[in-house]
Amino acid sequence: MPASLPIGTRGSPLALWQAEHVRDRLSAHHGPERGAASLKVITTSGDRIQDKPLADFGGKGLFTKEIDEALLRGDIALAVHSTKDLPTQLPEGLCLAAVLPRADVRDAFLSPVAPSLAALPAGAVVGTSSLRRAAQVKRARPDLRVIDFRGNVQTRLRKLAEGVADATLLAKAGLDRLGLAEAATSVLSVEDMLPAVAQGAIGVVARTNDVQTRALLEPLNDATTQFAVRCERAFLAELDGSCRTPIAGLAAIEDGAIRFRGLILSPDGAEWHEVEMTGPVAEADAIGRQAGEDVRGRAGPTFLEKLM
Ligand SMILES: NCc1[nH]cc(CCC(=O)O)c1CC(=O)O
């Protein structure tokens, strides 16, 4: 029997679902022998930080470092991530070998007290650990109070049920994958809540020089999603994407054209700068970079520095 490909993943239910999905896609494409893969759960530093806001740690790759190290050592052949959790710069020797077809990019609104963000009573408490969601919530509703809300999807649902907050926001893709679509009270339009860069896209990282594994991953890649994600990640990279900067970005592809929308906000949502750019798909990276330069120019030199 050939050795099965070891897949590295974090241990949360969402991470496991995504790794199992990649394992199933591999065996569907290559058969149960050549496509055989097994999961190896790896705990990351991010998983060990329980009580402090993640933004306080500032460092990138909090949820990827130990997995990257296992890949570079050869303990695993590939790693499955939510692409939105991946730093824009992967460590030397690693590459984003495949991006799976994108799921729903939108954020869901969850609340036992109101049908939508707009309908929350004045002064209601919204729990989220995402600076991007917090800033857009405050932009729409400066009266709301935002508190830090950490933990995996299940933990946040529990905190909401316990009344720690009146509402929370979660990626619709994550809820759908976990069979928790019903938990969503409503879904926010991307106009009201621009998603995180690469939201809804599962990414697979491999060693750049591991041609065998990369060839196995090739049929899992969705070219349209990959171009969109490259454009969005180029935008993030251009703005540096410090963990303290509320940044959102979404590329949509239609008939060979890419339409990118980007947004940066002050954490209190009082100031924001939007950009929209279109161009040929082949220039996905350049469009994202240009959009980043454009929005940074208009925000002025102090806007991003204040957040560093
Ligand atoms: N930061 C956690 C995380 N990373 C990816 C997803 C959702 C799945 C996806 O975007 O592919 C989530 C949960 C959430 O934001 O609600």
Q: How confident is the model at residue 42 (pLDDT cuts 50, 70, 90)?
A: very high
Q: Distance between CA 56 and CA 47 in Å, rounded?
A: 15
Residue ID of nearest Cα to ligand 1 atom 8? 174
What spacing in Å lies between the alpha carbon of 34 and ligand 1's midpoint?
30
Same domain, 237 and 284: yes
What spacing in Å lies between the alpha carbon of 153 and ligand 1's midpoint?
8
Domain limits for position 126: 107-187
Q: What is the pLDDT of residues 192-202, one digit of tens each?
A: 999 999 999 99
Q: What is the pLDDT of residues 215-274, one digit of tens each?
A: 999 999 999 999 999 999 999 999 975 567 899 999 999 988 999 999 999 999 999 999
Same domain, 175 and 253: no
- Residue 64's CB is within 10 A of a number of other CB atoms, namely 25
How many domains does the chain contain in total? 3
Does residue 140 sit within a domain? yes
Q: Taking all residues of the chain, what is their mean pLDDT, rounded to a whole number? A: 93
Same domain, 88 and 3: yes
Does residue 20 sit within a domain? yes
Q: Per-residue pLDDT for 1 more than 60?
A: no
Q: Mean of the pLDDT values across residues 67-88?
A: 96
Residue ID of nearest Cα to ligand 1 atom 5? 82
Predicted pLDDT of residue 269: 96
Q: What is the complex's ipTM, to 2 decimals?
A: 0.96
Same domain, 4 and 94: yes
What spacing in Å lies between the alpha carbon of 108 and ligand 1's midpoint?
11
pTM: 0.94
Same domain, 131 and 71: no
Q: Cβ(170) to ligand 1 under 6 A? A: yes
Q: Cβ(157) to ligand 1 under 6 A? A: no
Q: What is the pLDDT of residues 126-168, one digit of tens each?
A: 999 999 999 999 999 999 999 999 888 999 999 999 999 999 9
Does residue 285 sit within a domain? yes
